[in-house]
Structure 1
C-alpha cells in the first residue's frame, strides 16, 4: 500500500517567502535584499510592572500610586505588564491547549472550512516585499460571534466555552485599565460622564489567537511586521518563547516574558483621545528558528460609527470615527504597503506636527 503524507498544518509561508525574495531580487537587479528583520543585538528588558491589586486595596494612596504608575508607563513606554489581574492561570493554560489543538488542524481545514466564522488568516495577502511578510497564522474573532450558534467550531466543541471565558476575563482587565488611564486625564465616569471608551462593548471587540510557526529563515524574518494597534487598548497573553519587541528611545527592545503577567499596550485610538499623552508604540514579533510561539490578544475597540473623541480641547486631531480610521488604514496598506495611521487625521500637516514635537 502506498504511504500517504500527513496533511500539512502550516500555511505555505515558505512559498510566499521565496516568491517575495525573487521579486525583491528582480527589483534590485539580482542583488539579494537586506534582511527584513535586522539581525542586530537588542536589549531584553522587563516592562514596567503594575499590580492591579493596589487598585482595590481600600487605601486611597495605594490606588493613586498605582494609577500614577500606570499613566507614567502609558506615557513613557506605551506598554506595561499587569499582575494580579484575575485571569486565572489555569484558564490561560486551558486556552493554550485548545489553541494548540486548533492550529494543529490541517491548513486546508483552517483556511477553507469556515471555522470560527471564517476568521482565519495567515501571512500577509498584500505583501509586495519580504519586509511586509508576517510568518504567522491567526484567528481574528469578533467577540459577538464566539457564542453564536452559527459560529462553527468543527470538532473542537470545548473551544467555544474557553474562548468566551478568556474574552470575558480579558475584557474586565481592559475596562479597568482604560477607566484608570482615562481618569488620570480628568475623565470622571463617576461624576456623570459617559463610560470610557464610548461605543465599546461585547459586540465591538476582538479576540485574536496567534501562532508563529518555527521559521527556517529566522531571525531575518518577521513573525509579525512592525506596526501599531488600531484600537484603544490591547491585552496580550504570550507564552515563554519570546520574540515580542517594541520601539523605545529609537531602539528595538525585546520584552522578557513573565508567566504570571499580561501585557497591556496603548492603541492608536487612545493616543488620539489622550491628545498624544499616551503613546501607541511600534512593535513587532521576530520569528524563531526552533520553536513555535502562541499568544492570545484582546482588542478593545468601539463600534465603527463611534467618534473617537478627545479628553479635552484643543486636540491635535480632527474628529473621526473608528470606521473612518479603519478604512483609511486599509486603503493606505493596499496603496503603499504600509500603515500611516494617526498622521492622516491631524488638523495640521505631519511636517508641521513634527516641528511642534508630535512624533509618530
Structure 2
C-alpha cells in the first residue's frame, strides 16, 4: 500500500502577470482550502522566498548550534516576559535547542554576533515569511468566502509574529521524540526543513511523514483558525521524530494574534448561513493562560496542551 502524502501546491501563478481571467489562482485557492479541510497541512513551492536565502538561513543556524554552550548562552533571553533568544527545551524531548526571535527591530531580541551574517540573514527571511504568510492568509480568506481582506484586518497586530530556529540532536536509545504530538496554538505556521526527515502529521490515526522537498515550505493551520472557521478547518496533530545518526535543523514562522484579541467562530460561517457555533468566544490571552496551566499540571509528554477543547460547545442534549 502506498504511503499517503500531504498535498503539494504551486504558488507560481500568484507571481505572474499572465493569469488571464484568474482561473489558475482559483485552482490554487481551491487546492489550499481542500488541504486545510482534509489534512490541516500542505507543502508549497514557488512561494516567493528566495532559495539562496533559505539555504543560507539553514546553514547559519546549523553553524550557530555547533558553537560552544558558553557562546550560545550569551544569547539567553533577557527575561521570561520576553523569551526571545537561545534555550534548551528540557530532557523530556532530548535537550533540543532553539533560538527564538521576534519581529526585526524588536527590543526583545537577543541575537548572536556569530556566525557572521546570521542576524542579517534571519531578519531577511523573517520579512519573507511575513510576505508568504499574508499571501496564504488571503488565499484562506478567499476560500472561506469572507469579505476581501477580512482576515488581514482581523489579525492586524503583527508585532507578535515569531520565528524559531530549531535544532534536534540525533535520536538515542533513550528518546526518539523531537517534539511530542501536538496542535499549534496560533493561526498559521510555516516550516523550512533541512534535508533530514522528521516532521510527521497524523491523519486517520496514521502518521504521515513529510519528506523535505528542496525549495518548499510546509504550511499548517493552528487552532485559532480552527475556531474562526467553526471547525471547517481542523488543526492537525503533528510531531517531530529524531533521526538516528544525524541532527535536524528547521526554521519555523508562527503567525500569531495580539494577546487581547477576541476569538470566536466568525458570523459569516455561523449565524449568517444558519449554522450553530461550535465554540464559545474567548480572549486569546485567556487561551494561552489555560494552555500554560495545563502544561504546568500535566507531564510535557501528554498528547495535547492546547486547551482549545475547553471552549467547545457540546451538541449533546442535557
TM-score in same-fold range (> 0.5): yes
1:6 is aligned to none
* Aligned match of 1:223: 178
* 1:198/1:310 CA distance change after superposition, 3 Å: farther
CA-CA distance at 1:112 after TM superposition: 5.4
Which SS does the other structure have where 1:258 is aligned?
A: coil
Aligned 1:296-335 pairs, distance under 5 A: 296-312=251-267, 313=270, 314-335=276-297
Question: Are residues 58 and 188 of structure 1, via their aligned partners in 2, closer, same or farther at CA, if it must alter by over 3 Å?
Answer: farther
TM-score norm. by structure 2 comes to 0.86
Partner of 2:11: 52
Q: Match of 2:209?
A: 254
CA shift digits 1:20-54 (9 cap, x unpaired): xxxxxxxxxxxxxxxxxxxxxx9754320111123
Kindly state the Cα deviation for residue 309 of structure 1 after the two structures are TM-superposed: 3.4
How far apart are residue 270 of structure 1 and its match? Answer: 0.7
Rounded to whole Å, the distance in 2 between the matches of 1:211 and 1:43 is 30
Shift of 1:240: 1.1
SS at match of 1:189: coil
Is 1:280 aligned to 2:235, yes or no? yes
1:142 paired with 2:99, answer no
Structure 1 unaligned segments of length 5 or more: list them: 1-41, 126-131, 356-360
Match of 1:153 in 2: 111
CA shift at 1:121, angstroms? 2.4
Larger radius of gyration: 1
Q: CA-atom RMSD, angstroms?
A: 2.4
1:344 corresponds to 2:275: no
Measure how far apart 1:215 and its partner are. Answer: 2.5
Alpha-carbon distance between aligned partners in 2 of 1:108 and 1:344, rounded to the nearest angstrom = 42
Normalising by the residue count of structure 1, what TM-score does the alignment of the two structures yield?
Answer: 0.76
Matches within 5 A, 1:1-360: 44-56=3-15, 57-111=19-73, 113-114=75-76, 119-124=85-90, 132-143=92-103, 146-148=104-106, 151-156=109-114, 158-189=117-148, 193=150, 195-201=152-158, 203-217=159-173, 220-312=175-267, 313=270, 314-337=276-299, 338=302, 339-348=305-314, 352=315
Q: CA deviation at 1:195?
A: 2.6
Q: How many residues align?
A: 298
Say whether the 8 Å CA contact 2:112–2:118 is kept in structure 1. Answer: no
Deviations 1:179-219 (A, max 9, x none): 211221121125xx463542441x1100010011113227x
Per the TM alignment, residue 229 of structure 1 is displaced from its structure 2 partner at its CA by 0.6
Residue deviations 1:66-90 (CA, integer Å, cap 9, x gap): 1011100000011001111010110
Runs of 4+ in 1 over 4 A off after TM superposition: 42-45, 115-118
1:240-264 superposed Cα distances (whole Å, 9 cap, x missing partner): 1111111011111111211121100
How far residue 140 of structure 1 moved from its aligned partner, in angstroms, is 2.1
